Structure 1
Amino acid sequence: MSSEDTGTGRVDAAPGPQPRSQPPAEDTGRRRDVSLYWCGQTASAFGSVFTAIALPVVAVVQLHASPGAIGLISAATTAPVLLLGFPAGAFADRIARPRRALVLLDLLCAVAIGTVALGLASHVITLLWLVLLCLFMGATSTVSTSVYFLHLRQLVGADGIGGARARLQAGQYGAALVGRLLAGPATALLGAAAALSIDVGSYALSAVALLSMRSLDLVPREPGTSALATLRGALAGMRLFTGDAFHRALGLFVLVPAGTMAGVTALTGPFLLRDIRLPTAAYGLVFALSGLMGLAGSAAAVRLLRPERDPRRLMLAAFTAAVMCSLLLPLATGPLPLAAFCASLGIGLPIFFGSIANVALSSVLVTDMAEEVLGRSMAALQVCTAASALVGSLGCGLLGDLLGVRDTLWITAVIALVSMAVTLPAALRAIQRGAEAEAEPART
C-alpha cells in the first residue's frame, strides 16, 4: 500500500519486501545448545531403559532373588542420597562450570555400567555386583540432579525452566517408549550384557552432546568461600521445607507417597515376572504405555502451565491423581493379556500424572529458590524423599516376603491414599493463605 506525503505532494512507491529480521546470535546459540542438551538427555534416557529392564531380569531370572533382595537392590539406589545429599548440594553450589561436571558424571556412569556388562558376559555376576552398581549410580545421580538444574537454569534462565523442562521430559519419555519396546526382546535375544552396553553408548553420546555446546559454561560464584564453609552451610537447603506454610505442607505431602511409590516400583518386577508370569521378552512391552503416557503428560503440562494458572494447585492435583491410579497395578489378574493390560495402566497412568506434577514442581521450586542455594535446596529435596524411598523399598521388600507381592502392593497404595487425604487439605489452605496475603497490598 502506498502513502502520500502531504508536505511535498510526492507519492511514495509501494515498499518492496522487507528483509526478515535475524534473531540475535546469542539466542540462536542458546537454542542450539538447548537442542543439544535435549539430544544428550534423550539418548541417555533411551539407554537407561535397557539397564532398568535388564537388571530386574538378571536378579529375578538368573540370580533367583527374593522380594527382600529386590527391595535391597532398589534401596541401594537411594541410600547414597542420604549420605551424600547435603554435601553434594553444597558441592553443586560451588561448581562454576556445571557442564564439565555433567560430562564427567556421564563418563563415570559409562565406565561403571560397562564393568557390570563385562561381568555378565564373563558369567561372574552376583547380587553384590548389582547392589554396588545401584549404589554407584545412586551416588552419581545425587550430584547430577542438582547440577542438572544449575545447567538448565544457565541455558534458559529461571523464566524458561517450565517450557524447557517439559520439552526435555517429553524427549526422555519418547526415548523411553522406544527403549521399552526394544529392551525386553533385546535382553531375551542378545542377553543382559548387550542391553547394558547400549546404555554405555548412550552415556557416551550424552557426553559428546555436552562437549559440543558453544555457550559460556560459567556460573558466577563469590570468591573466597572455602569448601569447608560451603559444606557447613549445606543444611541451608532445608529452608525449602521451613520457609513458609506451603513449603512445610509440601514436605509432608511428598514424604509418605514417595516412600510408598518407591516400594511399588521395587516390587513391580517380581509382580510381573512371577505373579502374572509375564515372559521375559514381553517384560519391556508392558512399560510401553508408560512412555506414551509420559509424552502425553509432558505435552499436557505445557498447556496447563499457563501464566494465569497456579502451578502449585496443578502439582498437588497431579500428584494425587498419580497415587490414585497406582491402585490399578495390584488389580491386574486373570488371563495374561488382560492382566498385562491392567498392569500397563497401573504403571502408565501414574506416570502420566506424575510427569505433569514434575514439570509443575520444577517451575515452583526453581522460581522459589535463590540461585546461590539452588543446589542445596534440590539436595534437601532429594535427601528427604530418598529417606522415605529407602524405608519404602526395604519395608515393601520385607512385607513381600511375609505377605506376598500382590497384598503388599495393596497395602502400600492404601497408605499413600491415606497420606494424601491427610496432607492435601493443609497444602491447599497454605496456597489460599498465600494468595490472600499477596492480594492484600493491592486492595490497600
Structure 2
Amino acid sequence: MARGLWHHADFRRLWIGESVSQLGTAVTQLALPLVAILVLHASTFQIGALTAVEMSAFLLVGLPAGAWVDRMRFRAVLVVNDVVRAVALASVPLAYAFDALTVAQLFVVALVTSVSTVFFDVAYQSFLPQLVDRAELVDGNSKLQASESVSQIAGPALGGLLVAAFTAPYAILVDAVSFVWSAAWVAAIRHRPPKPARQPERHLGREIGEGLSFVVRNPLLRAITACTALCNFFAAISFGVFYVLLARTLHLSAAAIGAINAVSAIGGVLGSVLAVRIADRVGQGPAIWLSILVAVPCGFVLPFLHRDWTLGLLVLAQLVYWATSVVYNITQVSFRQAICPPRLLGRMNATIRFVVWGVMPVGGLLGGVLGSTIGVRETLFVAAVGLALPVLPLWFSPLRHMRELPSAPERTPTPSQPSRTRDHGMRTPATVV
C-alpha cells in the first residue's frame, strides 16, 4: 500500500504541493503573532482577538461552504484558494516596506486567509478519497500528516531565524510563496473527475441540511465532533495567550520560541508514523479516545512555566501532545472519509469543521479577555482544566469498545430518490479536524 501511494503520481503531486505549503504556514503561525507583538505592540486583548479572527471563517461560511464545494471540482477550489491566500499574505511585507502596516490590516489578512482556508480544507479532505482507494485513506492521511508534522518542526525554527534576520513581516513572505508553489503542483494533478451534475431543484438550505443530518444521525460522528470541539475550544483559549507568556512574561527570543515549537513538533512525526500501528494494536476506537486521554496532563505544564528546567518539561509535554493529537486526527479523519458517501464529502467535512473550528474564535477571544483580566498563567490553567473534558463524549460513546470502525460509505438516498425510512445511526456493528 505504502509503495503504491509513493508511486501514485497524482497523490505525489498533492503531497509535494501541500508539504511545502505547510512549511510556509508553520512560519506564519509564529511570525504573524510576533508581527502584532513585536512590531505593532498590540495589547494582550488584540492578540486574542487576532487569534479569534484567524479562526472565525468556519462560523461565518462553514456550513454553506460545504454545499458550495460539493457543487464544484475540488481541484479548482484548492488552486483558487491557494492563490487568494498568497496575495493576502504578501500584502503584509509590502505594507511594512512602505511603513503602512497596521493592526487593522493584520485583522483583514487573517479574515481573508481564514475564509480561503475554509474552502481549501473542505475541498482538500474531500479530494483525497477521489485520488486514492478508500482502503488507502489511512496511509494517505498518515503521509500527509507526517509532512505537516515535519513542517511544524522545520517551520517554527525557520520562522524564528527569518524573524531574527529579516523581521517578522518579511518572514511571512515565505508563506505567500509556498501557497503559489502549492497551487502549481495541485494544478498539475491529472485526475480530473467530472463536475458534479447540477440538480434541477437544488436548494442551498436543503443541501446544508443533508450534511447536518448525516453527522447528527451518526452516534460515532457526534462523539468525535463533540470531542474535537471541546479540544479546539480550550486549546484556542491557551493559544490566545501562549505567545504572550513566552515573548513578554519569559522574554524569550523569536529564535528560542521557534526552537521550542520545532523540537516539540517531533511528536507529530512520531504520531504520524505510529498511528496505523497503534490502531492495529489497541483497536481503532480505543486509539481515538486513548490518544485524547494521554494528552490531558500536558496542558498543566504551561501555567507553571519559567525560564528554568520547566522549559525542558514544556518540550516533552508538547511532544506528547502533538503525537497523541496526530494519532487522533489520522484515525478519526480517515474514518470520516471512509464512511461518508462521495456526494456528501464536502458537506460532512464542512458540518464537522463548522462546529470544531467554529468554537475556536470564541475560545481565542475568551483567552484574550481572561489574559487581560485574571492573568496569563491563570488563563492557561483554566485551559488545562478544560482540556480534560474532551475525553467524556468518547468514553460514553460506542467508540470505547469498538476495535474496528465501519469502513464502507453509509447508504444515503439521492435527491431524486428520497428515503421513506428513518435511519437512527450506523447499521454496521462494530471502529477530522
Q: Which residue number corresponds to residue 291 of structure 2?
A: 318
RMSD between aligned residues: 2.5
Match of 2:100 among 114, 124, 133: 124
Shift in Å at residue 213 of structure 1? 2.3
Match of 2:321 among 334, 341, 350: 350
Match of 1:284 among 258, 275, 278: 258
Q: How many Å separate the matches in 1 of 2:428 and 2:229?
A: 28
Matched letter for residue 402 of structure 1: T
Q: Which residue number corresponds to residue 162 of structure 1?
A: 138
Q: Which residue number corresponds to residue 137 of structure 1?
A: 113
Q: Which residue number corresponds to residue 88 of structure 1?
A: 65
Q: How high is the sequence identity, in percent, across the aligned residues?
A: 26
Correspondence 1:217 to 2:195: no
Report 1:267-282 matches (<5 A): 267-282=241-256
Match of 1:294 among 256, 261, 268: 268
Gapped regions of structure 1 (runs ≥ 5): 1-26
Cα contact 1:181–1:288 (8 A) shared by 2: yes
Correspondence 1:376 to 2:347: yes
Cα contact 1:173–1:292 (8 A) shared by 2: yes
SS in 2 for 1:213: coil
The 1:175/1:386 distance shift into structure 2, 3 A limit, reads closer
Q: Which residue number corresponds to residue 420 of structure 1?
A: 390
Matched letter for residue 292 of structure 2: F
SS in 2 for 1:43: helix
Report 1:43-442 matches (<5 A): 43-95=20-72, 97-214=73-190, 216-219=191-194, 221-225=196-200, 229-306=203-280, 310-335=283-308, 338-417=309-388, 419-420=389-390, 422-428=392-398, 431=401
The 1:188/1:334 distance shift into structure 2, 3 A limit, reads closer
Shift in Å at residue 243 of structure 1? 1.6
Cα contact 1:329–1:346 (8 A) shared by 2: no
1:137-190 deviations in whole A, cap 9, x for unaligned?
110111111100222111113221110010011012112312222210211111
1:263-307 deviations in whole A, cap 9, x for unaligned?
11221111111122111232211101233111111001132233x
Shift in Å at residue 429 of structure 1? 6.8
Q: How many Å separate the matches in 2 of 1:408 and 1:57?
A: 20
Shift in Å at residue 211 of structure 1? 2.2
SS in 2 for 1:277: coil
Q: How many Å separate the matches in 1 of 2:395 and 2:151?
A: 37
Q: Which residue number corresponds to residue 420 of structure 2?
A: none
Shift in Å at residue 341 of structure 1? 2.3
Cα contact 1:106–1:204 (8 A) shared by 2: yes
The 1:54/1:243 distance shift into structure 2, 3 A limit, reads same
Shift in Å at residue 438 of structure 1? 5.2
Cα contact 1:30–1:155 (8 A) shared by 2: no
Q: How many Å separate the matches in 2 of 1:211 and 1:246?
A: 35
SS in 1 for 2:306: coil
When normalised by structure 2's length, the TM-score is: 0.87
Cα contact 1:250–1:427 (8 A) shared by 2: no
Q: How many Å separate the matches in 2 of 1:109 and 1:98?
A: 17
Matched letter for residue 354 of structure 1: S
Shift in Å at residue 99 of structure 1? 1.2
Cα contact 1:245–1:430 (8 A) shared by 2: no
Q: How many Å separate the matches in 1 of 2:253 and 2:79?
A: 37
Cα contact 2:51–2:240 (8 A) shared by 1: yes
Matched letter for residue 210 of structure 1: V
The 1:140/1:31 distance shift into structure 2, 3 A limit, reads same
Q: How many Å separate the matches in 2 of 1:367 and 1:273?
A: 42
Cα contact 2:227–2:391 (8 A) shared by 1: no
SS in 2 for 1:278: coil
The 1:379/1:131 distance shift into structure 2, 3 A limit, reads same
Q: How many Å separate the matches in 2 of 1:191 and 1:423?
A: 44
Cα contact 2:289–2:395 (8 A) shared by 1: no
Cα contact 1:154–1:219 (8 A) shared by 2: no
When normalised by structure 1's length, the TM-score is: 0.85
Shift in Å at residue 220 of structure 1? 5.8
1:382-416 deviations in whole A, cap 9, x for unaligned?
11112321221111111100111111101111122
Q: How many Å separate the matches in 2 of 1:135 and 1:439?
A: 42
Q: How many Å separate the matches in 2 of 1:32 and 1:168?
A: 15
The 1:250/1:273 distance shift into structure 2, 3 A limit, reads same
Cα contact 2:370–2:379 (8 A) shared by 1: yes
Cα contact 1:240–1:380 (8 A) shared by 2: no
Larger Rg: 1
Shift in Å at residue 28 of structure 1? 8.8
Shift in Å at residue 421 of structure 1? 5.6
Match of 1:33 among 4, 7, 10: 10
SS in 2 for 1:64: coil
